[in-house]
Amino acid sequence: DSADGRSEVDVLIVGAGPAGLMMANWMSRCGIRSRIVDKRGTKIFNGQADGLQCRTLEIFDSFDFGHRAWIESNHMLEICLWNPDPKTGVIHRSDRIPDTIPNISRFQQVVLHQGRIERFFLDSISENSKRTLKDVPGWEGGIQVEHGVIPTLLEFDDKQAEDNDAYPISVKLRHLTEEESRPKQSATSLNGSGLQDGLFRSNLAQDDTEEMLEKSKALEAKAGKEETVHAKYLLGADGAHSWVRNQLGFKLQGESTDYIWGVLDIVPITDFPDIRMRCAIHSESSGSVMVIPRENKLVRLYIQLTTTENVEGGKKADRSKINPESILASAQRIMSPYKITYRYCDWWTAYQIGQRVGNNFSLKERIFLAGDAVHTHSPKAGQGMNVSMQDAFNLGWKVASVVKGTSTRSILKTYQSERRKIAQDLIDFDHRFSRLFSGRPAKDVLDEEGISMDEFKSAFQKGNLFASGVAVDYGASVIVAKAGDSTEQGDGTEVLGEEKLRVISEQELAKEIKVGMRMPSFKVLNQADARPWHFQELLKSNGTWRVVVFAGNIKSASQKTRLDALGEKLSSPTSFLNRFTPPQKRYDSVIELLAVHSAPRQDVTIFDFPAVFHPWDDTDGWDYWKIFVDDVSYHEGYGDAYKNYGVERETGCAVILRPDQYVAWVGEVDDYESMDKFFSGFMVEQARKGRAMNGGKEGAQLK
């Protein structure tokens, strides 16, 4: 920072909810000078979002904190559907279905409240940024969320938008006093009862009072201060009422629904037998309840209270009449003849669902919006927080690689083309799901007004795939080499690279590694030490691309010849590995080369591979963590990876994975030219100082 209060950052993030924290987390991983500010003086301690999709857990795992969520959360295994008995009208359990579709992920859906998830992010951001930014003047302390800071002015110089080195964004930030930044209870949660509404410390969750006290002291010292920040990039992750979005004049399109919902987080006292299962309960005529069993003995009830049709003039319902008692009374009617009450209530709220999506997710690929700032919908399917985090997960590595100068700005257009479609799918899904959930069950097949319970079950099952997050399939672009129409931006511009630079995948070589989707995971063994790894565990989110060579049966002479030819090209000083990696950086910092072969493990050593697959480091010697084998493990069975990935065992294939684990390209094992062409479409050649990717090193080192 300069003395006059001006400061420069690569990335400024407004809003420290799930979306903003995910962005800051990427920046901390990639060592990008960033600041993240939030108008709130404290973080969330209970309530709010809670469901974590299996894809979100995969993402957390790639950032090394998946285990924390997995251990602390409540795991949801089964969904029970309760409906009126056709004869008596009394609710009964009519079906059970698995909560997560078996075998779609190595994780299953879990629930844990937003405050804990934010905690994991804060720890990860702090730890990683202190490591990656320790040598960057002014950033030695890493990245910390700055609470009680609010932007008051945003200026953008669009003439500088395409200049990589420019800081076209200026934001005035004001530091609030402790009092100003404290959230007003009644305004945010309709709370008139003095009950916690999600912003105070919960006595069930272990948390961090010390940190809060420190924060508020720091806040007082800076209160009232104003500063101007000049940024290369800005992310508005400031929620549904996004200030950033409003400054840009961007709108959300869609509508408010008629459904009013109450949410109650309680430790229930009940004789309802499935209270520890996720349940969808449709009563004959009193409405529906969704039961979500939670961590710490809690259960969340989502209850439809009324529709605005019941309210005079179709206007908004009178929210002052909604309180924990009235929500509970509705639940009691719906769940009758079972009894339900509570002694402890952790949090509650009520809301009217709006289903809206933003037209523009970015201004000139300099200012971006993510999360609730660009899509709002009902929380019942547990999607909001997940999709919001995944927006920023999609964006973070792209911005980081452009700031670092390894990718051109062309890849930034794919943020909107990829994520806007997901947001629209989400709204469509939510629309169908809400209607089915909120409707009255049909009495019989002739009851057209009512909701068919068979239709509900089938929608639930189909919805489960969508809701898992693993079905995301990104369209063709400069970073997704698949055939098909060009993907359009919301504004009609296309996001494909120049035709001559584009390559198209040979999808049939790896039938289950779908271009545009995330890399599925099966177990493989490390060639050097026989340890089994879930393949996804090798794909850490650290900003690197990966070329995965399914080398096939390298004991076959013809296959070995192909592999050697590939190795030679890769180790050439002019290979894409060498051209796109800055000379002072580690060999796997931009593109990491991995191999999975199918010959028997015990017949092979790493030295059967070209040296580029086990790179040399002058300090550490050979790298033993790049070559893997599809073989039987001693203790964890057989992953049968080639079969499960749909890859031919003898001849294999090659796959390019993006830094976010999405599949970018599939082709022949030795199709070096396509790989080179693919990377050349968006990567920036680095000034070369005679870097050679291990070319010819091995002989010299071992003499």
Number of Cβ within 10 Å of residue 687's Cβ equals: 7
- Is residue 151 a contact residue for ligand FAD (CB under 6 A)? yes
What is the smallest separation between the CB atom of 104 and ligand FAD, expressed in angstroms?
A: 19
Find the part of the chain contacting ligand FAD (CB under 6 A) among 199-207, 276-284, 369-377, 612-620: 369-377
Residues 488-547 within binding reach of ligand FAD (CB under 6 A): none
Q: How far is the CB of 143 from ligand FAD (least distance, A)?
A: 16
Closest CA to 318 of 308, 333, 303: 308
Q: Are 375 and 237 in contact (CB under 8 A)?
A: no
Cis ω on the peptide bond leading into residue 324 (within 30° of 0)? no
Counting contacts by CB under 6 A, is residue 681 touching ligand FAD? no
The reply to whether 346 belongs to the active site is no
What SS3 class is residue 632?
strand
| 294 noted as active-site residue | yes
Sites for ligand FAD among residues 375-394 (CB under 6 A): 379, 382-386, 388
Between 30 and 49, name the residue whose CB sits nearer to ligand FAD: 49
Q: How far is the CB of 298 from ligand FAD (least distance, A)?
A: 12
3-state secondary structure 341-356: EEEEEEEEEEEEEEEE
CB of 385 to ligand FAD, least distance (A): 4
* Sheet arrangement for strand 627-629: 532-534, 523-526, 627-629, 591-597, 545-552, 653-657, 663-667
Among 9, 11, 12, 18, binds ligand FAD (CB under 6 A): 18
Between 48 and 507, name the residue whose CB sits nearer to ligand FAD.
48
The position carrying tokens 């051209």 is: 579
Strands of 477-579, DSSP E: 523-526, 532-534, 545-552
d(CA 549, CA 176): 53
Footprint of ligand FAD on residues 102-131 (CB under 6 A)? none
Q: Residue 226: what are its φ and ψ, rounded to 5°?
A: -125, 145
**38 touches ligand FAD by CB under 6 A:** yes
User: Toward ligand FAD, which CB reaches closer, 41 or 543?
Assistant: 41
Strand partners, 526: 628
Of residues 47-86, which lie at the interface with ligand FAD (CB under 6 A)? 48-51
C-beta closer to ligand FAD: residue 156 or 616: 156
Q: In terms of Cα–Cα distance, which of 40, 348, 345, 18 is closest to 203?
A: 345
The catalytic position among 233, 259, 302, 587 is 302
- Per the CB < 8 A criterion, the answer to whether 479 and 515 are in contact is no
Judge contact between 140 and 90, C-beta under 8 A. no
Token pair of 514, please? 């779908």
Piece of 38-46, 208-216, 580-588, 601-609 that binds ligand FAD (CB under 6 A): 38-46
Helix axes 384-403, 54-62, angle to 10 degrees: 30
Q: Which of 237, 513, 663, 669 binds ligand FAD (CB under 6 A)?
A: 237
Q: How far apart are CA 703 and CA 700, in angstroms?
A: 6
Please say which residue, 14 or 593, places its beta carbon nearer to ligand FAD: 14
CB atoms within 10 A of CB 71: 9
Q: Which stretch binds ligand FAD (CB under 6 A): 31-39, 217-225, 399-407, 472-480?
A: 31-39
Give the interface segment with ligand FAD, choosing from 32-40, 523-531, 560-568, 692-700 (CB under 6 A): 32-40
609 token code pair: 């591979």
Of residues 334-353, those binding ligand FAD (CB under 6 A)? 349, 351
Catalytic one among 294, 546, 579, 601?
Answer: 294
Alpha-carbon separation of residue 437 from 94, 185, 289, 304, 446 (angstroms): 15, 30, 9, 9, 19
* # chain residues binding ligand FAD, by CB under 6 A: 34
Which of residues 300 and 601 has its CB atom nearest to ligand FAD in the complex? Answer: 300
Window contacting ligand FAD (CB under 6 A); options: 42-50, 331-339, 408-416, 499-507: 42-50
Q: Which of 10, 99, 372, 623 binds ligand FAD (CB under 6 A)?
A: 372
Question: Interaction with ligand FAD in 255-284: which residues (CB under 6 A)?
Answer: 263
Taking the least distance from each CB to ligand FAD, the nearer of 238 and 676 is 238
371 binds ligand FAD (CB under 6 A): yes
Phi, psi of 584, deg, nearest 5:
-85, -5
In the DSSP assignment, the letter for residue 638 is B
Q: Which is nearer to ligand FAD, 37 or 509 (CB)?
A: 37
How many Å apart are CA 401 and CA 544, to the nearest integer?
9
Whether the CA torsion 276, 49, 425, 393 is positive or negative: it is negative
Asked if 42 touches ligand FAD (CB under 6 A), the answer is: no
Instruction: Write out the residues near ligand FAD by the rule CB under 6 A.
Output: 14-20, 37-40, 48-51, 150-151, 237-239, 243, 263, 349, 351, 371-373, 379, 382-386, 388
Active-site residues: which are they? Answer: 50, 294, 302, 379
